[in-house]
Amino acid sequence: MKVLEIAVLKPSGGLQGFADTWRQLEGGSDTAPRLAFGSLRELFSAITEKRLELLRFVAGHDGLNVRRLASELGRDYKNVHTDAAELLELGLLERDADGRLSAPFDEIVIHANIRNAA
């Protein structure tokens, strides 16, 4: 199962998270793919309910292009195109040479610390 980890960081935590990941990679450690957002607002702005619905649909129906996806979801083509473009930019969707979409992850796990690490 391919998992993507998403972290919601405090502003000061972004640089530290990057440094930790960098050290892990330099040490040869395999690390799970990660995305980080500075706030829940940023996360929910990037991954809206409609985008999550689109992502889930693609995960179950790999190989659709945007036009077919819009038709299957009963949504406006322009809005689906915009949502797919944002998900592609985040790496949550992939597009092959023929424009067909696929979801590279089976699960997304969101972490949001509420207490400073000891």
Q: Domain total for the chain?
A: 1
Closest by CA to 76, choosing from 43, 54, 109, is 54
Q: What is the CATH number of the domain that holds 31?
A: 1.10.10.10
pTM for the model stands at 0.78
Residue 117 lies in a domain: no
Q: pLDDT-derived band of residue 14, with 50, 70 and 90 as boundaries?
A: low
Query: Domain range holding 55?
Result: 3-112
Residue 118 lies in a domain: no
Helices (H), 1-118: 13-26, 40-46, 49-60, 66-73, 77-90
- The pLDDT tens digits of the residues spanning 74-91 come to 999 999 999 999 999 999
Residue 10 lies in a domain: yes
Q: What pLDDT sits at residue 27?
A: 60
Q: Are 99 and 65 in contact (CB under 8 A)?
A: yes
Residue 107 lies in a domain: yes
Closest by CA to 107, choosing from 32, 15, 50, is 32
Residue 51 lies in a domain: yes
